Amino acid sequence: MTDSILDGLGPADVERVLAAGRALSLPQGWSPIAERTPADKAYLITEGEVSVRRGGVEVATLGPGAVVGEAAIVNRTLRSATVVALTPLRVVHFTRETIEDLAAEIPAFGEALRSAATGRLESG
Domain that includes residue 47, residue range: 11-123
| Residue 63 counted as domain residue | yes
- Is pTM, for the whole model, over 0.75? yes
Please write the tens of the pLDDT for every residue from 20-70.
Answer: 999 999 999 999 999 999 999 999 999 999 999 999 999 999 999 999 998
Residue 3: inside a domain: no
pLDDT recorded at residue 75: 86
Which of 63, 59, 57 has the alpha carbon at shortest distance from 43? 63
Q: Which amino acid is at 114?
A: R
Domain count, the chain: 1
pLDDT-derived band at 4, boundaries 50, 70, 90: confident
Cα separations in angstroms, 5 against 24, 30, 46, 71: 18, 22, 11, 13
Residue 1 lies in a domain: no
User: What 3-state DSSP class applies to 39?
Assistant: coil
